[in-house]
Amino acid sequence: DAKTTQPTSMDCAEGRAANLPCNHSTISGNEYVYWYRQIHSQGPQYIIHGLKNNETNEMASLIITEDRKSSTLILPHATLRDTAVYYCIVAYNQGGKLIFGQGTELSVKP
Amino acid sequence: GAVVSQHPSRVICKSGTSVKIECRSLDFQATTMFWYRQFPKQSLMLMATSNEGSKATYEQGVEKDKFLINHASLTLSTLTVTSAHPEDSSFYICSASSPQGQGYNEQFFGPGTRLTVL
């Protein structure tokens, strides 16, 4: 079973920041938090991952709470092309399997 | 990022026939490949993990004799759905991973194969 809990759906206005929460209260010390997204009828796309520190790349920022029991993915300026299902996944590093939960369906609206 | 391709992108077959789906890593060597299945409006379900040159490891509830996986090289894995039936109709997605310099595995996903069994 997936070890994360996410809201089923969220809306965001185009150009605004999209903040997607994820709860992973049973995460173990050496498990990472990964975020992927899946645009309709395509394969998932890697976004970002982190262990304990906040991370930022060209796509998004990942904020992990100090106790590591939850995290937030931030898309700083959402566009219509960011409409997708976003999956928060907890997994081990080397060779870790990715177990997908139901994800959050993000709709970016004009 | 690295590119993973799948072939075919879409296949329709008759009940009882077998279908082979190819997954290729185009610009890197994939030590591990994963196969997923996704039914409409559902999440991805991991079917099996394969390492080059060894037998695949199947997830609980996945029939290894029905879903044959071969990972003969570091750039190619195949999934064969044997004696397909309408309930096997689904979106099949593969991913490939290779250790990165920072020591983590990032999975690169293929575009998926839509299988319809009549």
pLDDT band at A93 (very low <50, low <70, confident <90, very high): confident
DSSP class of residue A98? Answer: P
List A11's β-bridge partners, or say none.
A107
pLDDT at A41: 87
Whether residue A96 has pLDDT greater than 90:
no
Distances in whole angstroms, Cα of residue A93 to Cα of each of A32, A98, B63, B91, B98: 7, 10, 27, 27, 11
For residue B91, list chain A residues with Cβ-Cβ distance below 8 A. 41
Asked if the C-beta of A40 comes within 8 angstroms of chain B's C-beta atoms, the answer is: no
Measured in whole angstroms, the distance separating CA A76 from the mean position of its chain's CA atoms is 13
The answer to whether B49 contacts A97, with C-beta atoms less than 8 Å apart, is yes
Judge contact between B113 and B92, C-beta under 8 A.
Answer: yes
For residue B114, give the chain A residue with the closest CA.
A41
Distances in whole angstroms, Cα of residue B108 to Cα of each of A45, A88, B24, B67: 7, 16, 11, 21
Q: Is B76 helix (H, G, I), strand (E, B) or coil?
A: strand
Judge contact between A93 and B103, C-beta under 8 A.
Answer: yes
**pLDDT tens-digit profile of B5-62?**
999 999 999 999 999 999 999 988 888 899 999 999 999 999 999 988 888 999 999 9
Mean pLDDT along residues A39-59: 93
Largest CA distance in chain B: 46
The token duo for B52 is 């080059």
Whether residue A59 has pLDDT greater than 70:
yes
pLDDT at B51: 86
Asked if the C-beta of A97 comes within 8 angstroms of chain B's C-beta atoms, the answer is: yes
List B49's β-bridge partners, or say none.
B34, B57
Mean pLDDT along residues B92-96: 95
Instruction: Collect all residues with Cβ–Cβ distance below 8 Å to A44 and sequence separation of at least 6.
Output: A36, A37, A38, A87, A100, B44, B93, B95, B109
